[in-house]
Amino acid sequence: MWNIFRKKSKNTKNDNDQKDKNRNNDEKKGENSQKESIKMGMLERIAMKRMEKMSPQEREKMAREFFDPKNKDKMEKVLKYLKSSGKVTDEQIDQARKRMGF
């Protein structure tokens, strides 16, 4: 991004080389950058951070409760919301339903 207060360097060639390197690094990231580019709301970010901080045992326990057959209607509502908000595609929803056995 262009910064009006940035001092001009003597070697503009080096600046251009650095920009090219940054572009190449961005292209190499591939799927990692996709995770970062997802736009999340404030509560979603908080939930994501909380999940990342959880121990594997806690995550497994929560997943068991989440995928309980009693919660099928809640899961359908969540999938419907995600589709309407444009965060997932029809293919992703079909894959999720197959994995969950719906």
Examine residue 50 and state whether it is found in any structural domain, yes or no.
no
- Judged by DSSP in three states, 81 sits in helix
Examine residue 70 and state whether it is found in any structural domain, yes or no.
yes
**What is the model's pLDDT at position 31?**
46
Q: What is the pTM of this model?
A: 0.44
58 vs 96: CA distance, rounded Å? 22
Examine residue 60 and state whether it is found in any structural domain, yes or no.
yes
Examine residue 23 and state whether it is found in any structural domain, yes or no.
no
Query: Are the CB atoms for 90 and 83 separated by under 8 Å?
Result: yes
**What is the model's pLDDT at position 12?**
53
| pLDDT tens string 21-69 | 555 555 555 544 445 556 778 888 898 899 899 999 998 998 888 878 8
Domain coverage including residue 90: 56-102
Examine residue 68 and state whether it is found in any structural domain, yes or no.
yes
**Number of Cβ atoms within 10 Å of the Cβ of 42:** 7
Examine residue 5 and state whether it is found in any structural domain, yes or no.
no
Query: Are the CB atoms for 34 and 42 separated by under 8 Å?
Result: no
DSSP H or E stretch at residue 53: helix 42-53
33 vs 26: CA distance, rounded Å? 8
Examine residue 31 and state whether it is found in any structural domain, yes or no.
no
Domain count, the chain: 1
pLDDT band at 14 (very low <50, low <70, confident <90, very high): low
- Say whether pLDDT at 7 is over 70: yes
Examine residue 81 and state whether it is found in any structural domain, yes or no.
yes
